[in-house]
Structure 1
């Protein structure tokens, strides 16, 4: 349940000055004096990159090439325009959307009660206000707090009695910039009150830069990082064993070549050299192999028995 803030009529008020360069002055005029601007419409850009000049060129091509639509940007994707007459606006407002060929735009046109001479239009959003002391959790006080970031429209009454941030709907210049911490003194005692628009949840706070959530790590991301680290370690181990294997192969090749050279040298000179190599013979047991010499003076096996 929300409580209407009951804006003052006919009185200039200041709002949003808690955020640098986003403050504004506002005055409310009785609804009976607001009349409909028959030929004013809003061009909503559904696809493409548009600006005021592009909108004017495109509309002149499809509506009236001699008319100046005087586009005025209201939001990132909305432009206020003036049509030649009510009938033309009525016709184009019936389309769910259509393409503009010059700049590859897709747009939708709606009727508007906004005065064509408007410089800009405020946007509405819900704001969560945290760290309000218990003595200040009242509708009138919360409305005053909300005025630091925008023009309060209504207060969520249920959020006042729950242990959670208080929700307030406000009119403001740009909802995306409402994510800040402002120190406010209640009876001379300071509290750092946090303001976050619901469209900005998950973004960093300004100026302190802390995330609005609990700071819990992303488990999935953490597991993925761990798997990547394990994979990297496994690759390094595999590379290490490959290198060891190559070294062993080189060593065996080198050793084999050296042994062949030694045997060839021994046979060529006829000199006997005892080699520290043993083997098991089925009849003689453990034996130490000796190089065969020309006269075969050791025994008929050409070997030397172990003592």
Structure 2
């Protein structure tokens, strides 16, 4: 194969280990996707419909759930994955592969940027409470949220474009979905531009990632000064830290396996490591926020009571 245009489809060999369990895995996938849809949509609607929750922190939570639930989150993976489980031929088109890379990577980037925005919001709320409403006004929050989506989208447009210019000499991807690193490894042309741009993105998101613990160092120092500060930290920051830990561990294992994974590892284990960052955070994050954040939990209880009374 001499150029990228000769590659029409990619084969996804990760599905070879699912053949004997396809019905079971399809059922579990469908159930998991339904749970993800229900918990995320419930939290999104709760925040949208209650004006008392139209505050920066809850707007960020809403965007986090929307990212996990819509086109650039699980919807970019689960429908295709479920279809492939029941199919006898596990392939994806070249264009479909690039679109899946864009969707999955955009989801991951937006997730981290929104978490960084939430850390900044909590820093202002606890460390600079008198300035909170002026610093985190609804207008400024809207601008920051818009940027948290726009910047990752633009970054991934460039990344996918660079990948699309490569000459591809293979069509075999050893995963259950398309990944940028896996496609780049199939290139028979220079990947210097991709490598440099990849390092650039890594540096940006390292800075974004470091801003989160930097904010929490200041938050902990401030919270320890008073009982009220400690209570506020526990009520509003603990769920954020749990979700950050959740997505960081999931992303770390997937990234490390993609680059340094052992060929001797069982394919089923490889598949789980590949899918867990698209499965666990979208399912657990809204549950964590719904159970721990007092206002959201109270509003959900009220809605449940109203529904029960009507029935």
* Smaller-chain TM-score bracket: under 0.3
Of Structure 1 and Structure 2, the greater helix share is in 2
Larger CA Rg, structure 1 vs 2: 1
